[in-house]
Amino acid sequence: MKKIIVLSLLAWPLIGYAADTPVPAEKPAAPVKQDPAERNQMLYSLGFLLGDNLKTQLILDNEDDYKAVSQGMRDTLLGKKPQTDLEKYKPQIIQKYKEDAQKIAEKRATAQKTYLENFQKEKGVKTLDNGAMVKLSKPGKGKNPKADSIVKVHYTGTLIDGTKFDSSRDRGEAFQTRLTDVIPCWTKAVQQLKPGARATVVCPPDTAYGNRPMGPIAPNSALVFDIELIEIVK
């Protein structure tokens, strides 16, 4: 069971990518032979994603750490016998995950506190009663939406380090929603905008997803949105 837990921790983002891929309604055609260089690029990307996920969960301090982890992965992928007693080290692996997760969470909390404090000091920032912050970059015209209005917006969502996790602009389609159906930060912040307005909206964790992990969004993450209110639908 512990081995399954560890492997699932490593694989969850790739499972998420696969889950988001639509399943064909009909039997797929025979696979086309892939160019070796293209296959190599795909497999490199797979390795990069696994490594990117690993570094968000574990603290590896030096080159020797990286070499040991990569050697272990290489051996198991090549079907070799392990060079260590795996059962002996499973408890230490689980403990490292727990300890590193705590350290990473504390580091993230400190970085977020600094980010929120600095953003709040910027000129033009309005702090709402739930803690969400709005900085208008483009004014709009007309009436503001109400708490239960249906609106159409374009947005880009990032973590405080700039990592993008979602964007209606990338999809090429505006997002339509009732303001009662989104995170509390949005419900309050979008009401500050008039049609045509654009703003940076910063959401403290308790106005976003709180302690719930949401794909690439870790628990207790502050979020940053670039929101443009296109129209009030209703």
pLDDT in tens, 130-141: 999 999 999 999
> Residues 169, 221: one domain?
yes
Higher pLDDT, 99 or 4: 99
Regarding whether 174 and 150 lie in a shared domain, the answer is yes
76-96 burial string, b = 16+ CB within 10 Å, else e?
eeeeeeeeeeeeeeeeebeee
Taking each helix axis as running N to C, give the angle between helix 86-121 and helix 36-57, from 0 to 180 degrees, rounded to the nearest 10: 80
CB atoms within 10 A of CB 25: 5
For residue 56, is pLDDT > 50?
yes
Given the residues 104, 183, 206, 226, the one annotated as active site: 183
Report pLDDT for 83. Answer: 94
Q: Does 179 lie in the same domain as 105?
A: no
Annotated catalytic, 209? yes
Q: pLDDT at residue 9 above 70?
A: no
Q: Which of 217, 225, 230, 232 is labelled catalytic?
A: 225
Q: Is the pLDDT assigned to residue 43 strictly greater than 90?
A: no
Based on the fold, state whether residues 128 and 206 are members of the same structural domain.
yes
Domain around 173: 123-232
Q: Would residue 86 count as lying in a domain?
A: yes
For residue range 17-38, list pLDDT tens digits in order: 444 444 445 555 666 677 888 8
Q: Is residue 14 part of a domain?
A: yes
Residue 116 domain flag: no
Q: Are residues 134 and 173 in the same domain?
A: yes
Task: Tell me if residue 155 is catalytic.
Answer: yes
Catalytic (active site) residue 115 = no
Find the range with the poorest average confidence among 37-51, 167-181, 193-207. 37-51
- Residue with more model confidence, 56 or 19: 56
* pLDDT bracket for residue 152 (50, 70, 90): very high
Q: Is the confidence at residue 211, as pLDDT, over 90?
A: no
Q: What pLDDT does residue 30 have?
A: 63
| pLDDT over 80 at 97, yes or no | yes
Q: Is 48 a catalytic residue?
A: no
Average pLDDT estimate for 118-145: 95
Q: What does the pLDDT read at residue 15?
A: 41
Beta-carbon contacts of 193 under 8 Å, excluding residues fewer than 6 positions away, are 134, 136, 140, 144, 145, 199, 227, 229
Rounded Cα distance between 132 and 153, Å, is 18
Q: pLDDT: is 88 or 105 the higher one?
A: 88
Determine which one of 97, 119, 165, 175 is catalytic: 165
Give the integer Cα–Cα distance in Å for 154 and 167: 8
Residue 174 to residues 6, 26, 168, 169, 181, Cα–Cα distance (Å): 38, 30, 6, 7, 16
Overall domain count for the chain: 2
Whether residues 130 and 105 share a domain: the answer is: no
- pLDDT confidence of 5, banded at 50, 70, 90? very low
pLDDT above 50 for 146: yes
Choice among 209, 217, 230, 232 that is catalytic = 209
